[in-house]
Chain A
Amino acid sequence: NAGVTQTPKFQVLKTGQSMTLQCAQDMNHEYMSWYRQDPGMGLRLIHYSVGAGITDQGEVPNGYNVSRSTTEDFPLRLLSAAPSQTSVYFCASSYSRGGGNTGELFFGEGSRLTVL
């Protein structure tokens, strides 16, 4: 199993450009999420999904869109990039609530985004 796969690993954008960070998992996890990591601030939840067709906002959703058309994929879209979105982005997945699951997350390797 590949686990959680994120692409691209590195990206440089100019202010106002759009792009999509891709995330795919092959563990049949119902729950998927996107976090951003900034120095001294830990990980902050952007958006999450508890299953195909269902998404919800996290702590810092502004400027980002998501969709979940399949169980495997959970892309994160930046519609008009801003320098404040310079960060490292992590996709994570887990089994959903129930069945004794405790929700530990499996993380991708991260995507480092720089917005000039």
Chain B
Amino acid sequence: AQSVAQPEDQVNVAEGNPLTVKCTYSVSGNPYLFWYVQYPNRGLQFLLKYITGDNLVKGSYGFEAEFNKSQTSFHLKKPSALVSDSALYFCAVRGATDSWGKLQFGAGTQVVVTP
């Protein structure tokens, strides 16, 4: 069975500092990995994905994520955080051969960026 772990309920960072949001996963076979962001009272917005190829994936709003197969991780990063990055971030995974409907989400990590 596939699963996703986001070990931190909340990440606090000062504006201008690097931001990292952690995600580890478990799937059978090759993973399809996604990051989404949710602003208050809004739906989830797609940030980036890893399917195959380069382990460093670049996405929207200056975010990037690094796929590490040996550590089964897909951490989200931003070199310099902004106050406007404060939001709830979700990691999601699907195995390449899994049912298309079975996208598994983590519990989410609240990011708080202080001025």
A-side residues, CB < 8 A to B, are: 4, 31, 33, 35, 40-45, 48, 50, 56, 58, 90, 92, 96-97, 102-110
Given A103-B32, A107-B45, 5 other A-B residues pairs in contact with their CB atoms under 8 A: A42-B105, A45-B102, A48-B101, A90-B43, A110-B41
Which of A33, A97, A104 is within 8 Å of B34, CB to CB? A104
User: Is there an interface contact between A105 and B101, defined as CB atoms closer than 8 Å?
Assistant: no
In the complex, the answer to whether B100 meets A103 with C-beta atoms within 8 Å is: yes
A101 to B8, CA, bound (A): 31
A interface footprint on B1-41 (CB within 8 Å = 1, 0 otherwise): 00010000100000000000000000000001010100001
Q: Which of A40, A102, A109 contacts B49 (CB 8 A)?
A: A102
Contact of A109 among B42, B99, B106 (CB under 8 A): B42
CA distance A35 to B94 in the complex (A): 15
The docked-state distance in angstroms from the alpha carbon of A97 to that of B41 is 30
**Known A42-B90, A42-B108, A43-B90; contact A31-B43, beta-carbon cutoff 8 A:** no
The secondary structure that dominates the A interface is strand
Complex Cα distance, B90 from A106, in Å, reads: 14
B112 to chain A, nearest CB (A): 16
Whole-angstrom CA separation of A78 from B49 in the bound complex: 33
Residue of A nearest to B48 (CB): A104
Q: Is the CB of A105 within 8 A of B44?
A: yes
Option from B36, B51, B100 in Cβ contact (under 8 Å) with A97: B100
From the candidates A4, A35, A50, A106, name the one contacting B100 in the complex (CB within 8 A).
A50
Chain B CB within 10 A, most for which of A42, A97, A106, A107: A42
Of all chain A residues, the one with the shortest Cβ separation from B102 is: A45
Return the contact of A96 from the options B4, B100, B105 (Cβ within 8 A): B100
Tell whether B103 is near chain A: CB-to-CB under 8 Å.
yes
- Find out whether the CB atom of A102 lies under 8 angstroms from the CB atom of B51: yes
